[in-house]
Amino acid sequence: MNKKLKVPCLFLDRDGVINIDYGYVHTKEETVYKENLSILLEIAKKKQIMILIITNQSGIARGFFSEEVFVKYMNWLKEDLLKKFGNTFDDYFFCPHHEEAKVTKYKQKCKCRKPKPGLFQIAEKKYNIDLKKSIMIGDNFSDMEAAKKAEVKFRFLLTNKELNCSYITKRINTFNDPTLLKILSNINK
């Protein structure tokens, strides 16, 4: 029996990791990329590591913007990253739900909203991801908790704050962090 080879992945939260989080970012005018993002994208692509965005988007449930507007924005984001940095993400997975939603169809307690691991599990199945050779970079504890529940091996919390969290690999404040870059560069070995 010949099983399809599992692939490592760099999972990224969107707001606060790819772009500065101004709250419910959904237009190109609001988009400002995080410093040194290009380095991260370049190394991942050189090492043939899949890049996936895993993001909660409660702005959809709250009625700030529609799912269609979000998808259009993500298509623009993918192209803009490629144009600006020469690299971009492969795909994205998002949760539009919230228990206190104003838009009725999104008002639910789902399995995909971080800190639940649902989005990681969907991505793992779709792309045959090796979670034991994968990395998550997020800016909230919910990102780290979801990645831990999904059994993503390396979990980096991007923040300038001094925070303690037992389920992170390391707290970082830049994508130039030596530990992150070493793991990313050697993940396929």
Catalytic residue positions? 13, 15
- What is the SS3 assignment for 15-53? ECCCECCCCCCCCHHHCCECCCHHHHHHHHHHCCCEEEE
Dihedrals φ, ψ of 156, to 5°? -115, 125
DSSP 96: -
- Within 10 angstroms of residue 45's Cβ, the number of other Cβ atoms is 17
Distance (Å, whole) CA 140 – CA 21: 12
- Within 10 angstroms of residue 160's Cβ, the number of other Cβ atoms is 9
